[in-house]
Chains A and B, each alone.
Chain A
Amino acid sequence: MLRSWPRAIAHVDADAFFASVEQAVHPELKGRPVITGAERGIVSAASYEAKARGVARGVPLHHVKKLCPDCVILPSDYETYSLYSKRMFEIMRRFSPIVEEYSIDEGFCELTGLRRLFHCDYRGIAARMQEAILTELDITASVGISLSKSLAKLCSKFRKPHGITAVGGRHIHLLLARTPLEKVWGFGSNTVALLAKHGLKNALDFVDRPESFASNLMGKIGRELWGELRGEYVYKVSAEDADRQLSISKTKTFTPPSADRNYVWARALRNLESACIKARRHGLAARRLVLHLRTQQFEGAGLEAKLVRASSSTNELVPVLAEMFEKIFKPGTLYRATGVVLAELADERPAQFTLFEDVGHALASERAFEAVDEIAERFGKHTIFLADGAVLSEQHAGERGLTAERKSRPLKGETKRQHLKLPLLRFNLRH
């Protein structure tokens, strides 16, 4: 029999994060259906009021207008979202230093042994955490607490929004019996289909089988998930933050879609530039480069290339990207998004020089991009960009002319590029 709390892992998941943040900075929107993603043409996030009306993520906006005519549709303001995200993780770190930022709106927190410090049980700690997030950020989050990351993640989904679900060792089976296979973190549709063939219906059926069943069917991952769901702490909460990223991905959707080769290429190039800027900021270099294009019909095409030497100098990667682009771009097809991924990231240093290339050239391009980054630091990102990107219209002004309010209404003394890194509340004082 498993003890109730050999370990306590909390999963904090902000509810309808982007929409909640918009409601927090625009208090007049509270209680109203709010949607973000106006610049993408599809729903990025929907507030619970909108969800209640049947609006879900990824739904096209014209459809939303039919479903919910009084919906407030806003362009995304990622800068404010990431500021809120940072603050949410800061609040979590006040409780425990071991916090893993899993994505912009969810994270894990290792709470084992904190009961004595806070004079309450783990549910109580979760409630305090939730309370702090609500009072300080004015957004709600759902918290799940259990013995492993997988279980905690199931718990936080269990009651939403603003729920707390704590499942100790003695009660895992009750949770698992109510968890269909497809809800388990790490089970995709193929895995679910495979397990269903063996007569499994829910997560409890899976853990009731012997360990060898899981490892024979799904290998190492299967064995790990099997342990996680039985309350073993297999996947560690890793407090290392985004500095140790495995890949950097930059994808941008554009509306209206385009079949113009130069335009789509410029979009891909801009993503490459953004990804390289980020890689250089973290002192990382990529061994693998991925390009994908998405068509209007939501079909995707992608290619990846392995690089002879790890690099984050944009102009070293451009020829590789161009070659891949030529292979997958189909003339006459409408594209709606391009994405670039820098993968197999490793520290820039130490770097091994290679024999069959011009070392001087590589060093010169590295210095050039150091200068580009320095200029960007002072005058804004993409102040200097590769010439093929010139076909893109003014940066950040979406094709629909929609910009986040924070950017369209700068404070006195602010410029588009340089402004206070603070989210601003927007409401009018009435006397």
Chain B
Amino acid sequence: MEIKIARSELQKGLGLVQGIVERKTTMPILANVLLSVEKKALSITATDLEVGINGSYAADVLSEGKITLHARSLYDIVRELPDDTIYLKVKDGNWVEIKCGKSNFKIVGLSPEEFPALPTRGNGQTQRIDATLLKEMIDRTAFAMSSDETRYNLNGIYADLSGGEDGKTIVMVATDGHRLSVMKREAGSGWSLPKGIIVPRKGVMELKKLAESGDDPVDIWADTKHLIVYRGNTTLVIRLIDGQFPPYEQVIPKKAKRVVSLGRNEFIHALKRVSVLSTDRSRGVKFSISPNNLDITASNPDIGEAREELAATYKGDAFEIGFNARYFIDALSSIDDEQAVMQLGDDTAPCVIYSEFDRGFTHVIMPMRL
């Protein structure tokens, strides 16, 4: 293998895979990237066996071939090289020579035969989706994913890509068992991909990165084991979580006993201020709701207490309920509404937040006992 490639092009390709290569792996090959040259292009592949990514980049091909090199070291070298053409040649014993301007490197790689192959697409059509829409759906759900490794089935976003009855609506859901975020959106038509897949956290992050990297649409394909995403010359392969997602629809209350609405921005800032005095672990704050008024209070035996009064639209009896302030801040920050509308039951029932502008957004937060 022997190529000449623009430094910027190689840096872009290597930069894209850095988030995926495993730093602390028991398989040394996974810390490497696979560089393979066919026809007119250099293809760069990295995987941690859960998420794999492949991109192809224009290069001046002198001879075809393959090699794997330590991803981090190669990236660090390329980043510091002068902005010029890089000459890269594989020599005997997996040694690679890199030349650029007056710099000259010789680094050793591992045999490309050892590099695990990425899963490939099976039968069925890909489905096109708008990148901005995809990013929005991830942004309004991903924050609710669980990071508790013992609850592996919640460590990702659940997606229903079947299109529903009309083949138009797709759903994404995330929960950590304390809160639940649901996004339903119309996304073109003719959806017929699997119904209940769970995309792991790392896959979600890479998918979001890919969706953010430009405006052109994304093509996706999935079966019960993998989700494959195409955008331009880049392919992202995600191994799905093999688990049952809890029956999320059942926990969304159908009827609201109490409805409270208030300015979203003021609400977020008040929560941020008051929660400074909630205890570190629980972030518990108390809402005291009375007609046209919402008081937020928090107290911490080590520091002191805080109280903030907010004007709110509410008709009904006065009552109190405890919540983790963090959960409200997360949910309310993800939407763009002027007003925050909360639907509440009694003090052990979940609170539901809808968005007026994004009708597909539903968020459920369980209360706390303070």
Give the B-binding residues of A (Cβ under 8 A): 306, 308, 346, 349-356, 359-360, 363
Contacts and interface: CB of A to CB of B under 8 A. Distances in A.
B281 A354 contact: no
Contact of A355 (B150, B282, B364): B364
23 contacts: A308-B151, A308-B177, A350-B279, A350-B284, A350-B368, A350-B369, A351-B368, A351-B369, A352-B178, A352-B366, A353-B178, A354-B177, A354-B178, A355-B178, A355-B179, A355-B180, A355-B246, A355-B350, A355-B366, A356-B177, A356-B247, A356-B251, A363-B348
Give 5 nearest A-B pairs by CB, closest first. A350-B284, A353-B366, A350-B282, A350-B370, A351-B369
Contacts of B281: 346
A297 to B, nearest CB: 32
Given A306-B150, A346-B281, A359-B348, A353 B175 contact: no
Interface residues of B, number: 25
B contacts with A: majority SS: loop
A308 B282 CA distance: 15
Given A308-B151, A308-B177, A354 B284 contact: no
Contact of A349 (B151, B180, B324, B370): B370
Interface in B238-253: 246-247, 251
B322 interface: yes
Nearest to B284: A350
B367 A353 contact: yes
Given A306-B150, A308-B177, A359-B348, A353 B368 contact: yes
Contacts of A351: 368-369
A contacts with B: majority SS: mixed
Contacts of A356: 177, 246-247, 251
A163 to B, nearest CB: 41
Contacts of B349: 359
A352 B324 contact: yes
A388 to B, nearest CB: 27
Interface core residue of A306, A351, A355 (most chain B CB under 10 Å): A355
B175 A355 contact: yes
A285 B369 CA distance: 13
Nearest to B178: A352
A222 B251 CA distance: 49
A351 B282 CA distance: 8
A351 B347 CA distance: 13
Contacts of A354: 177-178, 366
A209 to B, nearest CB: 28
A350 B279 CA distance: 9
Contacts of B368: 350-353
